[in-house]
A and B are shown apart, each in its own frame.
Chain A
Amino acid sequence: NAGVTQTPKFQVLKTGQSMTLQCAQDMNHEYMSWYRQDPGMGLRLIHYSVGAGITDQGEVPNGYNVSRSTTEDFPLRLLSAAPSQTSVYFCASSYSGGGAGETQYFGPGTRLLVL
Chain B
Amino acid sequence: SQQGEEDPQALSIQEGENATMNCSYKTSINNLQWYRQNSGRGLVHLILIRSNEREKHSGRLRVTLDTSKKSSSLLITASRAADTASYFCATDRGGDYGQNFVFGPGTRLSVLP
Chain A interface (Cβ < 8 Å from any Cβ of B): 4, 31, 33, 35, 40-45, 48, 50, 56-58, 90, 92, 97-99, 101, 103-109
Contact = CB atoms under 8 A, between A and B. Distances in A.
A58 B104 contact: no
Contacts of A57: 98
Given A106-B42, A109-B42, A33 B103 contact: no
Interface in B34-51: 40-45, 48, 50
Q: Interface residues of A: mostly helix, strand, loop or mixed?
A: strand
B45 A99 contact: no
Contacts, number: 70
Interface in B1-50: 2, 4, 9, 30-31, 33, 40-45, 48, 50
Interface of B: 2, 4, 9, 30-31, 33, 40-45, 48, 50, 88, 90, 92-98, 100-106
Contact of A99 (B30, B42, B103): B30
Nearest to A103: B45
